[in-house]
Chain A
Amino acid sequence: MFISIIEAISRYAIPVVFVGIVGFGLAKRVKVYESFTEGAKEGFYTAVRIIPFLVAMLVAIGVFRASGAMDLLTNALSPVTNALGIEGETLPMAFMRPLSGGGAQGVMTEIINTHGPDTLIGRTVAVMMGSTETTFYVLAVYFGSVAIKKTRHALPAGLLADLAGLLAAIYISKIFF
């Protein structure tokens, strides 16, 4: 029930927004075509402007992933996570989630297929996936697009939220599954 309502909203949201905005604009006597093209002009430059930031982030993350450093990191941290009652198998997911959305999805799929979708570990990584977003990617692209260099507390705050979301995902999964 809940899902079908959300699915319906997702399906109709964009058509309704487009028709609503253009229709309302006409009613308000906005020159809609001219407004559209005026705003749209910026599209190309906005997209191109984020290239350096995207490349910088994706290269660093790609290099780290391909090196196998993730395994070393999870092994080194396993005494800590064992003490906290966290399954070590979920650790690669915890590190990948803030770095890369596609990478996290890959790690999640791999863990689900290895341990089975109905196991606690399988379910936990699935919940971890949705608990937070790729902080590094979003910060790089969003700040890059407006040439912000000094990001102040954005990264520590974002990472703290990631940590909270991931820990919540792990412990909530223990209760639910």
Chain B
Amino acid sequence: MINIIWAALLIIGFVVGAATGNLDAVTDAAIENAETGVSIALGLIGIMTLWLGIMKIAEDAGIVQKLANLIKPITTRLFPDVPADHPAIGAVIMNLAANILGLGNAATPLGLKAMQELQKINKKKDTATDAMVMFLAINTSSVTLIPASTIGILSAAGATNPTDIIGPTIIATTVSTVVAVIATKIMQKLPRYQIEYEKIKNE
């Protein structure tokens, strides 16, 4: 699916660009965005290093495991294939907490750390586990309490009461998260999304 969507975006973009006389702008966008991608990644190095260091202390001190134990009843249902006291759960929780509080800078390093931990218990390294998909489904459906930058933009545009979007936003984001969890639980059982473990056994 990702291959088709990626190719479609690229091909449609260039074809439509050529048809509408935007071809130069499209080509420029391709080059500019490639540079943006690199600068985003490089910009992450500092904050990534900082959070991975802090998380390692938390792990060695047993804090991550304690945190994981605290909300075991929820995580064992969402991530049944991950041991409840595994460091991955601690990182997942910290990533989701950072997202909820709108701490975008902290969220990405903690999320990548969670993926690394989940990958450690993955039996087939090139294939996503149920736990990874569940984590990303919750993550991408975002539970944000205060959409701070949106309120800022509304207020800059002269809105009378920009904070009144908070209530509707919380409802909408809750809907998307609930759908994400249910969809993931149902889809992971579909035959087309099963992991082919047999191949590993033969290797």
Contacts and interface: CB of A to CB of B under 8 A. Distances in A.
Contacts of B167: 176
Given A3-B163, A141-B108, A51 B41 contact: yes
Interface in B6-60: 6, 9-10, 12-17, 20, 22, 25-26, 28-30, 32-34, 36-38, 40-42, 44-46, 48-60
A21 B63 contact: yes
Contacts of B44: 46-47, 50
Nearest to B56: A39
Contacts of B73: none
Interface in A21-51: 21-22, 24-25, 27-28, 30, 32, 35-44, 46-48, 50-51
Interface string A138-153: 1101110111111111
Interface in B69-109: 97-98, 101-103, 106, 108-109
Interface residues of B, number: 110
Q: Which of A99, A158, A176 has the most CB of B within 10 A?
A: A158
A138 B163 CA distance: 27
Contacts of A139: 2, 136, 140
A157 B136 CA distance: 9
A21 B150 contact: no
Nearest to B38: A51
Q: Which of A27, A67, A126 has the most CB of B within 10 A?
A: A67
A67 B128 CA distance: 33
Contact of B20 (A3, A7, A67): A67
Contact of A153 (B54, B55, B119, B190): B190
A61 B139 CA distance: 20
A117 B154 contact: yes
A77 interface: no
A9 to B, nearest CB: 6
B150 A130 contact: yes
B150 A10 contact: no
Interface string A106-141: 001100110011100011001111111111101101
A40 to B, nearest CB: 3
Given A46-B44, A152-B128, A162-B140, 15 more contacts: A10-B146, A36-B57, A41-B52, A44-B45, A46-B112, A60-B10, A66-B25, A127-B172, A139-B2, A150-B126, A152-B188, A153-B184, A157-B187, A158-B137, A165-B173
